[in-house]
Amino acid sequence: MPTRSFVRQFQDHIAVGQIFQPLLFLIARSTADDLQKQVEFLKAENERLRKRVPRQRIFLKLDERNQLVKLGKDLGPAIRHLITIVDYSTFRCWVRNADGSTPAPGKGRSRITQVIRELVVQIANETGWGYSRILGELKKLNLGKSSRQSMKNILVEHDLAPGLRRGKGWWSEFVKMHAETPWQVDFFSKLVVTPSVAIE
């Protein structure tokens, strides 16, 4: 059985609680209002700064993205109205990548396949063409999308001159490459003369 002093203290405690409860609510409400005002101010300031940034796109580092994802995931769908640095769909993509559900795509031009590299080296060895001509031949065959610089890099990697072969030996190599062609020419022709025309 509680004593009278305990009951009295309990009643005083309830009375004090009833007196201070509206004050506590006022403090809590003013804190929430202040926080809301701060958020609105920061959002307006962010919008003004974004208007003055010269570039349309802002590239963030991985740790900066992860920080935004960590803070934005807790906001749920409300992030759609708050985020200004990137599009909402981009943010959702970051969230999916942070979860590990989709691998990040590679950046830059795709690497030239080994088959095409070998073909470039083979063409350069057999014909002596420069990288521009080799690139043109590959484009005629619809073999990948490459650049002149890629062709040049492949030739340099294999210690081949990127330009046409010039200098000593070029004429002899030309004759060797076309050695079979002169035998197809008819060297034994006779000039036949008729009254109206000369036929060879």
Higher pLDDT, 117 or 55: 117
Position 34 confidence tier, pLDDT thresholds 50, 70, 90: confident
Three-state DSSP state, 106? coil
- Residue 166: half-sphere exposure toward Cβ, Cα within 13 Å: 4
Higher pLDDT, 42 or 87: 87
Greatest mean pLDDT among 116-120, 141-145, 188-192 lies in 116-120
**Domain ranges for the chain:** 4-99, 114-170
Model pTM score: 0.36
Whether residue 94 contacts residue 69, with contact meaning beta carbons closer than 8 Å, is answered with yes
User: What mean pLDDT, rounded, does the chain reach?
Assistant: 76
Q: What average pLDDT does this structure show over 152-161?
A: 88
The DSSP symbol for 148 reads: H
Look up residue 119 and give its two tokens: 């073909």
Q: Is 154 exposed, middle or buried (0-12, 13-18, 19+ CB in 10 A)?
A: buried
Q: How large is the greatest C-alpha to C-alpha distance in the chain, in angstroms?
A: 155
Whether residue 143 contacts residue 125, with contact meaning beta carbons closer than 8 Å, is answered with no
Q: Where is average pLDDT lowest: 61-65, 102-106, 170-174, 192-196? A: 102-106
